[in-house]
Structure 1
Amino acid sequence: MITFFVAIIILVAGYFTYGKLVENIFGSRQERTTPAYTLADGVDYVPMNTKRNAMIQLLNIAGVGPIFGPIMGALYGPVAFLWIVLGAIFAGGVHDYLTGMISIRNRGAHLPELAGKFLGKTMKHAVNAFSILLLVLVGTVFVSAPASLLDGLTPEVITLGTIVAIIFLYYIVATILPIDKIIGRLYPIFGLLLLISAVGIGGALIVKGAPIPELTLENLHPDGLAIFPLLFLTISCGALSGFHATQSPIISRTTQNEKQGRKIFYGMMITEAIIAMIWAAAAMSLFDANELNTILKESGPAAVVSELSIMSLGAFGGTLAILGVIVLPITSGDTAFRSARMIIADYVRVGQKKFSSRLWIALPMFVISVGLTQIDFNILWRYFSWANQSTAMIALWVGAMYLGLQRKNHWIATIPALFITMVTFTYILHAPIGFHLSKPISYAGAALITIAAMFAFINGLKKRLNKGEPIKVDDELGEAS
């Protein structure tokens, strides 16, 4: 259990040390007026306080990813702890903070618009399509997962189809109504369930003296699956997740002050990592690898969550823990569709004050999502994992270019960008859902692409800096009056 305690301590320390360093490098300014005020529209641009924003951000980013991912990642053994800790501090926290703060500096812009501004206009169109695909996949995954968990708690007369329909209905309402009407009011209640779930499972592990394994770099996966690149895609939320880049701009439009950014963006990433640590530790301590592998193959991660909760907290406490887990995907699914609606609206330049404008953009997404629920969950998860980390790669390159153009230390974003570029391309070149090439060719191809990306970044940065013209990285609208 020493590894577990040390990991939690390092994560908390990372927020106060490396998080502060990232904030200083970025240069947050308290006197700048944020888009929540300059673009206030009563729908998406609505000033909200730090506690409210932080809780919404946590619930937005913490879907089933920091639970299902770590449970599946637990098959690799305690090496998973290492990725959660280092990934969250040096990659995930940086990713979330930069995407949130750069968005604040650019009128609450979403990733496609930021990619277009900092990586080129062609990237804007590509990232726009990619982001919408990711968000619809996320929304679909986050319908299927909570529906499966609720199906095990409700009477037989309430069918799985009925539960799916209810969740979709909630998503439609939360996507279309102003952010402070549904999301802003319900999330504090949902947050309480989340805390009960995480604290309950973590406390049970400590009180019962669960045999949480100590750190080893050995690959313990029963099927012998390679740590690289699979572990880094299996555990995304909780370490580094591109989905967060689609969520942070929602809160960038409600943040009152730039100085609140470290707590809202970097801090909630660290909180998510602690949740991931708890579930990974629980899976490793309460099941042996073969038993866990069997349950995952036969019944999926939702079944593991149910068993872990009941085993740790009993029938009543376990049910509360399961409800907390159900809350996570639902509170990410609704904002996934909301983000998609906002991205499409920005792209086609349609104002969102009118209810009808929000409705005609949102409804087609839900029609597509309903169709995707018919696809096997495991297939959806594989595509989601790859799309998720590919989005993280793009967001980190945006952050690196932003800092580079300001002649600031871009390496805090460039190094994790290089790493996740290698991970995502190795996976898609080798995976059956991708090009299905041999391992040596996949590694070599990914390495060449990563090197090319590095040269393209350095060359592009030098060209823009050598033009001798003022480079506008922040929109003037955000300046203090």
Structure 2
Amino acid sequence: MNSLVLIAVGLLGILSGWFFYSRFIAARIYQLDAQFRTPAHEFRDGVDFVPTNRYVLWGHHFTSVAGAAPIVGPAIAVIWGWGPAFLWVVLGTIFFAGVHDMGALWASVRNRGQSIGGLSEKLLGSRARWMFMLIMFLVLLMVNAAFATVITNLLIQFPTAVIPVWGAIVVAIGIGQLLYRAQVGLLWPTIIGVGLLYGLILLGNAVPVALPAEIFGLSDRVVWVLLLFLYAGIASTLPVWMLLQPRDYINGIQLFVALGIIYAAALLSAPTVVVPFINDQVPAGTPPIAPLLFVTIACGAISGFHGLVSSGTSSKQLDRETDARLVGYGGAVGEGMLALAAIVCATAGFATLADWQAVYTNFGAGSVGAFVTGGANIVSQGLGIPAGLAATILTVTAALFAGTTMDTGVRLQRYVIQETGAITGIAALKNGTLATLLAIGFCLAIAFGAASDGTGGMVIWPLFGTSNQLLASLTLLMVTVILARLGRPVVFTLVPLVLVLTMAIYALLLQIGTFLGDQNWTLAIMALFILGAAIMVGISAVTALRQTGFSLLAHRHPAE
């Protein structure tokens, strides 16, 4: 099949969701109000609470929630064929991710910028709140520890990406100064920032940088992991306008340039999708498509991590409540477009089915490597860009996204620790510096405790997919309870949460069986704990929902 058909149908579906469905959800269900005073104005402090231009905030939100996951998940899931991955990405973006992300953002804005975990006590009680916060912390721990490994692998495998990945930090700081100190309009900083970033890509491609195999007795892999966490710790404590916002914004613009390059190259070269709609010759040991498809592709369809970002950082920067449509649903649209590009690169970027099968030899194969290699082939054939330079562009795109997710993830971990301090009355935990050091300490403990080379995050990564989707379903439960209490229809959040919750629990039960069979007691115990915590929160939410006497479709007056 010609990849142009895949691109055209996918983009048409996703953009239809933005122009029509998101407008309906924003106006009729969440009823966004431009006159509502957002927490960014009410609690403005210049550090975390900062009213932000909606396009800049969209960039922060989009790049924070994306990371490498909308590339990794689809590029792995195509092992079952391009059809299931394509349908889940397109339909998930329209009816699941956008509703979830905008809903979490709206719920937090309407409750003084509280995180979804913080809201759980108000709606469900203190016990449910503790369970919710523990799941949140574990998901953040997995993301931060694993993404450090992903970025390290990319920097080692593609040394041409080192200069642009680290140089982007300097560019972002400069953009922040132009926007907030010099009060320059958005246009010129955007043009200058993107120009500098692509100049760094050209420089990096010409001057690859590789660390020595050993530095002070530490391997290059260990040094990269330590440097990444040092950076993430510093970045998470700086005012959001100084680095987080401009870095995420310029990365978002850079991504759309990269997507434009991929789609333009595909338009000109019209590569053939060499993978069948349904692959009935999967490698031995490949798990069943249901429920694994729905937890393998999270970002790009629906992801619980998005709710943490929506209610953790984005809600504290929203200038007007109506901006939640662009930031929340629009961020999901951007992710869907990236996931669609990943599917195209991983299925049409190979010359023959045999070439593709040589890469996809087992479940988990392909991943970022298939995206970079396949995408570079398409770009090289369509636009005549040297394959090495095209690979550098796509590698930088993936690494920058993973880096921005680490920035936000460590900051969110700090929030969780500080919130714990507020709940327990332990004043020391409310200190931002100590909370950041603890967050980094937990990440390093996982990274180096489970593997001496700092890749320990990948040891617990098998739990991420199910934990993340459980978190997504619990976030939808919270939003559903809020809607029910307001007397608004809940069907638009209830249907997605039922499907996601069913698939997540099904997948987790399969994983528990596998862990027990392999005598992997650590992951088995963690999985059982996560399942128990999710069930406890779910029961509390269902009880609260039934007490509202909710209606699926009809509007009614809120209960007194």
Scaled by the length of structure 2, the TM-score of the pair is 0.75
Pair 1:105–1:10, CA change in 2 (3 A):
same
Distance 1:455 1:181, change over 3 A: closer
- Report the equivalent of 1:440: none
1:340 paired residue among 371, 393, 413? 413
Whole-Å Cα distance in 2 between the matches of residues 324 and 168 of structure 1?
A: 19
Matched residue, 2:85: 80
Q: Which one of 235, 239, 243 corresponds to residue 174 of structure 1?
A: 235
Shift of 1:123: 1.2
Distance in 2 (alpha carbons) for counterparts of 1:430 and 1:18: 34
Matched position secondary structure for 1:412: helix
Match of 1:41 in 2: 45
Q: Are positions 1:281 and 2:344 aligned together? A: yes
The residue that corresponds to 2:191 in the other structure is none
Cα separation, 1, equivalents of 2:445 and 2:411: 19
Q: Residues 152-208 of structure 1: CA distance to partner in whole angstroms, max 9, x if unpaired? A: 232443422222222112101111111111112322332343223322223222221
**Equivalent residue number for residue 289 of structure 2:** 227
Q: Tell me the secondary structure at the aligned position of residue 210 of structure 1.
A: coil
Task: Show the 5 A alignment for 1:443-458.
Answer: none
Higher alpha-carbon deviation: 234-243 or 189-198: 189-198
- Change over 3 Å in CA distance of 1:215–1:28 after alignment to 2: farther
Decide which of 125, 139, 152 is 1:147's aligned counterpart. 152
Pairwise CA distance, 1:385: 1.1
Q: Whole-Å Cα distance in 2 between the matches of residues 297 and 217 of structure 1?
A: 17
> Per-residue deviation at 1:39?
0.9
Amino acid at match of 1:89: I
Deviates more, 1:30-39 or 1:146-155: 146-155
Partner of 2:480: 400
Which of the numbers 233, 238, 252 marks the counterpart of 1:191?
252
Deviation at residue 376 of structure 1 after TM alignment: 5.3
Contact 2:132 2:537 in 1 (8 A): no
**Equivalent residue for 1:245?**
307
- Residue number in structure 1 paired with 2:367: 301
Alignment match, 2:201: none
SS at match of 1:349: helix
Answer yes or no: is the 8 Å Cα contact 1:112–1:131 preserved in 2.
Answer: yes
Contact 2:283–2:362 (Cα < 8 Å) also in 1: no
- Relative to 1, partners in 2 of residues 1:291 and 1:119: Cα closer, same or farther, differing over 3 Å? farther
Q: Which residue does the alignment assign to 1:94?
A: 99
What is the alpha-carbon distance in structure 2 between the residues aligned to residue 266 and residue 427 of structure 1?
A: 27
Q: Report the counterpart of residue 68 of structure 2 in structure 1.
A: 64
Partner deviation per Cα, 1:241-277 (whole Å, 9 max, x = no partner): 0000110121111111011110110011011011001
Q: In the alignment, residue 72 of structure 1 is paired with which amino acid?
A: I
Q: Contact (CA 8 Å) 1:312, 1:318: kept in 2 or not? A: no
| One-letter amino acid matched to 1:333 | M
Counterpart for residue 359 of structure 2: 292
Aligned with 1:327 (options 386, 400, 404): 400
**Which residue pairs with 1:157 in the alignment?**
211
Runs of 5+ unmatched residues, structure 1? 438-448, 473-481
Q: Which among 26, 35, 60 is matched to residue 31 of structure 1? A: 35
Question: Counterpart of 1:278 in structure 2: which amino acid?
Answer: A
Q: What is the match of residue 13 of structure 2?
A: 10
Native 8 Å contact 1:341 1:361 kept in 2: yes
Is the alpha carbon distance of 1:215 and 1:16 closer, same or farther for their aligned partners in structure 2, counting shifts above 3 Å? farther
**Which of 385-394 and 368-377 deviates more?**
368-377
Alpha-carbon deviation of 1:59? Answer: 0.5
* Higher mean C-alpha deviation, range 232-241 or range 23-32: 23-32
Cα distance change on mapping 1:392 and 1:451 into 2, 3 Å: closer
Deviations 1:139-162 (A, max 9, x none): 111111011101123244342222
Task: Please give the per-residue CA displacement for 1:96-154, whole angstroms capped at 9, x wherever unaligned.
Answer: 01000110000111111122222333211101111011111111111110111011232
Task: Report the equivalent of 2:173.
Answer: none
| Conserved? CA contact 1:140–1:370, under 8 Å | yes
User: 1:428-443, aligned counterparts within 5 Å?
Assistant: 428-432=508-512
Secondary structure of 1:431's counterpart equals helix
Residue 369 (structure 1) aligned with residue 372 (structure 2): no
CA distance in 2, matches of 1:188, 1:454: 35
Structure 2 unaligned residues grouped into runs of 5+: 160-208, 213-219, 380-386, 518-532, 551-556
User: Does the 8 A contact of 1:193 with 1:321 survive in 2?
Assistant: no
Task: Let me know the Cα RMSD of the aligned residues.
Answer: 2.9
Code of the residue aligned with 1:74 in structure 2: it is V
Distance 1:222 1:206, change over 3 A: farther
Q: Is the 8 A contact 2:39 2:112 kept in 1?
A: yes
**Counterpart contact for 2:63–2:249, Cα < 8 Å:** no
Q: Call closer, same or farther: CA 1:190–1:389 in 2, change over 3 Å.
A: same
- What is residue 265 of structure 2 aligned with on the other side? 204
- Residue identity matched to 2:143: V
Q: Secondary structure at the match of 1:190?
A: helix
**Distance change (3 Å), C-alpha of 1:463 and 1:329:** same
Q: TM-score, normalised by structure 1?
A: 0.87
What residue is the counterpart of 1:419 in the other structure? 499
Report the Cα distance in structure 1 between the residues aligned to 2:513 and 2:263, rounded to whole angstroms.
36
Offset of residue 296 of structure 1: 7.0
Q: Which moved more, 1:300-309 or 1:317-326?
A: 300-309
**Contact persistence 1:198–1:321 (CA under 8 A):** no
Aligned partner (choices 457, 462, 466) of residue 386 of structure 1: 466
Once residues 71 and 329 of structure 2 are traced to their aligned partners in structure 1, the CA distance between those partners, rounded to angstroms, is 19
- Return the offset for 1:384: 1.3
Change in Cα spacing, 1:458 to 1:246, as seen in structure 2 (3 Å) is: closer
